[in-house]
Amino acid sequence: MDAERESRMKRRLSKTFTLAALAIGLALQAACSSSSGLPEVLASAPLTMDKAGATTSVDFTVTEAHIAKYRRLMVALNFPKTNDRKLEDAIRNKKVSMEVEVVQIHDGQSIPIATQDYDANRDGSRHIGNAIANLNLYGADADSSLVLIAGFYPPKPGSYRATVKTIEDQPLFEGVDSIIKVEQYYNTGE
């Protein structure tokens, strides 16, 4: 009887240690994780998207840590979800395009950086200088629609500028508060 009792105690003790180790591991993982689940926004600015010719530029700094952690960044567009989803559908159907340019600022000179909209990313092409980007609705959160304008690989740390310009009237954007952002490229399963 004592041997059976001792065996049960050992199994309980083993299970207790296993659960404790698992709990400690999960706690350490959570404590060491610097991710809040939200991407770091390097720069942002409002842009009125309903009229052709609207332009905004955002200056931002890329660090060694950004390059090591993210590799690829993107110029994105966020706006509040629309009730009728017509705006999101127009983007999904590739009916919204805009000009995009990313440059590195070095010693007062602008050095163009290659960009890729969603279609170029799929076919492997890149555009240098002012490029026409077809917007790609890649997701949504509780309140916002999330749109890729173009992705890019910063070649080294330093100062950068992203400029976007509407190329045609987009009446669906009338009264819609749009924000241009530079942030890590959305998760593509890399």
Q: Are residues 12 and 64 in the same domain?
A: no
Q: Are residues 46 and 1 in the same domain?
A: no
Q: Are residues 27 and 110 in the same domain?
A: no
Q: Are residues 29 and 87 in the same domain?
A: no
Q: Are residues 148 and 79 in the same domain?
A: yes
Indicate whether this model's pTM tops 0.85: no
Q: Return d(Cα 129, Cα 99) in angstroms, integer.
A: 10
Residue 189 lies in a domain: no
pLDDT tens digit sequence for 64-94: 988 888 788 999 999 998 888 888 998 988 7
Whole domain around residue 18: which residue ranges? 1-33
Residue 190 lies in a domain: no
Q: Is the dihedral of CA 11, 12, 15, 20 positive or negative?
A: negative
Q: Return d(Cα 29, Cα 39) in angstroms, integer.
A: 19
Q: List the chain pLDDT tens, one digit each, 190 residues.
A: 576 777 676 667 565 555 444 445 444 444 443 444 566 899 999 999 999 999 999 999 999 988 888 788 999 999 998 888 888 998 988 788 999 999 999 999 999 999 988 888 777 777 777 788 989 988 888 889 999 999 999 999 999 999 999 999 999 999 999 999 999 988 655 4
Nearest-5° Cα angle at 154, 181 to 75: 20
Q: Are residues 26 and 77 in the same domain?
A: no
Q: Are residues 21 and 106 in the same domain?
A: no
